[in-house]
Amino acid sequence: MALRHAVLAALLDGEYSGYQLAKIFDIAVSNFWHAVPQQLYTELTRLESEGLITGRQIIQQGRPNKRVFTVTDAGIEELERFAQSPARPGIIREDLLVMVQAVDHTSSVAVIKQLEERAETALAKVALFERTLERLRGETDEETFLREGSPIGPYLTCLRGRRFEQENYECYRSTAQLLRERAAASAEEKGADAESATDSDAAADTDGPESP
The helix or strand, by DSSP H or E, that contains position 56, with its residue range, turns out to be: strand 53-58
Question: pLDDT (tens digit, 9 = 90+) per residue, 86-123?
Answer: 988 888 889 999 999 999 999 999 999 999 999 999 99
Domain residue limits, the chain: 3-83, 95-195
Quote the CA–CA distance of 194 and 190 in Å, as a whole number: 6
Say which residue, 30 or 210, is predicted with more confidence.
30
Residue 146 pLDDT > 90, yes or no? yes
Quote the CA–CA distance of 49 and 53 in Å, as a whole number: 8
CB 145 within 8 A of CB 137: yes
Terminal-to-terminal C-alpha distance of the chain: 90
Tell me, what's the pLDDT at 169? 97
Residue 193 pLDDT > 70, yes or no? no
CB 1 within 8 A of CB 82: yes
Quote the CA–CA distance of 212 and 210 in Å, as a whole number: 6
Q: What is the DSSP string of 17-44?
A: EHHHHHHHIIIIITTT----HHHHHHHH
Quote the CA–CA distance of 114 and 179 in Å, as a whole number: 12
Supply the pTM of this predicted model: 0.78
Which class in CATH covers the domain with range 3-83? mainly alpha
Tell me, what's the pLDDT at 194? 62
Mean pLDDT of 192-208: 59
Say which residue, 62 or 125, is predicted with more confidence.
125
Q: Within 10 Å of residue 5's Cβ, how many Cβ atoms?
A: 17
Quote the CA–CA distance of 75 and 162 in Å, as a whole number: 29
Q: What percent of the chain has pLDDT over 70?
A: 89
